[in-house]
Amino acid sequence: MTSPDPERLAVLVQKRRTELRLGIEPAAKLGGISKDTWKRVEAGQKVWDRSYAGIDEALQWATGSCLRILAGGDPIVSEPIADVDDVKVSDVPKSELARLVGDAVQTAAIATKGSLTGDEIAELNERVLRELRERGVI
């Protein structure tokens, strides 16, 4: 695992905020965080992980994008769908899609509280991923 890169996050947050033509105070307000917290992020300083979700929201990034940047990845832009409340679309890299689908299948299988064993959940996960690969989705 790579070490966190708060300086890279600072650069990308400031760049995206500028692209959206947002000042620090309006951006912080959109994200439900303080302007001081926002300034800390843009200064490359550590903040609570929960603050990153607000920054993701304000910058129209998919949830978890700030954490992805800190880990060496790239943000995922999410855009609202016209005339549909509270629904956003994000382009997810195929490399991430397999992991996200796998996580969703596992969580759903566990949440059903059925009689599936850990091995059966893993097998179900593999079958879903194989099917999606055969269809060209991932």
Instruction: Quickly list DSSP for 66-131.
Output: HHHHHTT----BEEEPTT-TT-EEE---HHHHHHHHHHHHHHHHHHTT-S--HHHHHHHHHHHHHH
Residue ranges in the chain modelled with pLDDT below 70: 1-2, 80-82, 84-92, 113
Question: Both 67 and 108 in a single domain?
Answer: no
The partner residues of 98 in beta bridges, in order of sequence, read none
Question: Both 117 and 52 in a single domain?
Answer: no
Domain presence at residue 1:
no
Question: Both 72 and 12 in a single domain?
Answer: yes
pLDDT in tens, 68-105: 899 998 898 887 666 766 656 666 677 777 777 877 78
Domain presence at residue 61:
yes
Joined tokens for residue 113: 């509280």
β-pairing verdict for 78-80 and 88-90: antiparallel
| This prediction's pTM | 0.64
Question: Both 10 and 45 in a single domain?
Answer: yes
Structural domain including 117 reads 94-134
Residues 35, 24: contact at Cβ < 8 Å?
Answer: yes
What's residue 55's pLDDT? 96
What's residue 130's pLDDT? 87
For residue 66, what is the domain's CATH number?
1.10.260.40
Q: How far apart are CA 38 and CA 43, in angstroms?
A: 9
Could you give the number of structural domains in the chain? 2
Q: How far apart are CA 129 and CA 63, in angstroms?
A: 23
What's residue 138's pLDDT? 75
Q: How far apart are CA 89 and CA 30, in angstroms?
A: 19
Domain presence at residue 103:
yes
What's residue 23's pLDDT? 96
Question: Both 51 and 117 in a single domain?
Answer: no
Residues 40, 47: contact at Cβ < 8 Å?
Answer: yes
